[in-house]
Amino acid sequence: MDSGIGLLAAATAVRRLRPDADLVLSSAPDTMPWGPRTPQYVNEQALAVAEAAAEHRPDALIVACNTASVHALPALRARLEPDVPVIGTVPAIKPAAAGGGPVAIWATPATTGSPYQRGLIREFAEGVAVTEVPCPGLADAVEHGDQAGIDAAIAAAAALTPGDVRAVVLGCTHYELVAQRIRAAVQRPGLPPLVLHVSAGAVAAQALRRIGAVPDPGAVAEGTVTVLLGGRVGTLPEPALGYDEGRLLQAVGSAR
């Protein structure tokens, strides 16, 4: 679940680990972006999107949205667990800080500076130079396939990113869809390759562990893909097909 197509990265990661898994992709694009919204609004929308997914009786629910994980995870777990394990998406601050820094965390305005993110920095990045970089408009531009908007938002965030940064944590799942464009904008000539830290792979692996499923990338059976938009069955939005992840999910699953 996510506000929009930010869930593509996690869904693709699950698909690669278990090609036979049936996937339900639940979002509410008419309500996004959640990044600049109030915590109460995020809670309400996240619960509605999660409950739409829960009607399909999933084995687990991945909250493939950093903003929803920051603000709504306790409410989602209270509503769905223990029947449905709920796996949140945590910015990959711990592995980024392990490299020694300096580190930049790109995130939505709602996540940047939040007590949740600041707590992760205190816990996992003590003694490491960390810069929190708000990225207003980037998730919205990615959602709508607005190429000029993506370029402008990335350029603005890159301008706020210190030149000596060696690792960037992508603290919004939408950003993972344009990771290479972010890398190109932040990479400084003459410096070692920038390390980007994303969450989709780790979240997918954790979801499988929670339900006792073993990764089987070579599985022959092919799972289905069910798309829910505002609780109604639909198809992947056209902008989703502008990204590798969207095209993969459309090609390997029977979208219905």
What pLDDT score was predicted for residue 244?
Answer: 95
Partners of 130 in beta bridges? 103
pLDDT of residue 253: 52
Q: Are 201 and 214 in contact (CB under 8 A)?
A: no
Active-site residue, selected from the candidate residues 172, 178, 228, 229: 172
Rounded mean pLDDT, 68-88: 95
Domain-by-domain residue ranges, the chain? 5-89+201-252, 93-198
Q: What is the pLDDT of residue 254?
A: 47
Q: What pLDDT is recorded for position 252?
A: 66
Q: What is the pLDDT of residue 70?
A: 86
**Over the range 187-207, which residues count as b (16 or more CB within 10 Å of their CB) and which as e?**
eeeeeeebebbbbbbbbbebb
Which of 32-46, 116-130, 205-219 is least confident?
A: 32-46
Q: What is the DSSP letter of 220?
A: -
Indicate the SS3 state at residue 196.
Answer: strand
> Which pLDDT value is given to residue 44?
95
What are the beta bridge partners of residue 103?
Answer: 130, 167
Q: Which of 7, 21, 65, 157 is catalytic?
A: 65
CB 119 within 8 A of CB 89: no
Report the percent of the chain where pLDDT is more than 70.
98
Over the stretch 27-61, which tens digit does the pLDDT of each residue have? 999 988 887 788 899 999 999 999 999 999 999 99
Q: Could you report the per-residue pLDDT of 163-208, keeping only the tens digit for each?
A: 999 999 999 999 999 999 999 999 998 888 999 999 999 999 999 9
Q: What pLDDT score does 146 carry? A: 97
Residue 113's pLDDT band, with cuts at 50, 70 and 90, is confident
Q: What is the pLDDT of residue 34?
A: 82
CB 130 within 8 A of CB 97: yes
135 assigned to active site: no
Where is 180: in which H helix or E strand? helix 179-186
Q: Mean pLDDT, to the nearest integer, of 158-165?
A: 96
- The conformation of residue 255, written as its DSSP 8-state character, comes to B
Q: What is the overall mean pLDDT for the chain? A: 93
Q: Which CATH number fits domain 5-89+201-252: 3.40.50.2300, 3.10.100.10, 1.20.1250.20, 3.40.50.1860?
A: 3.40.50.1860
Contact 41, 34 (CB under 8 A): yes
Q: Which CATH architecture has domain 93-198?
A: 3-Layer(aba) Sandwich (3.40)
Collapsing DSSP to helix, strand or coil, 156 comes out as helix
- CB burial of 229-247 (b: ≥16 within 10 Å; e: otherwise) equals beeeebebbebbbebebbe
pLDDT category, 234, cuts 50, 70, 90? very high
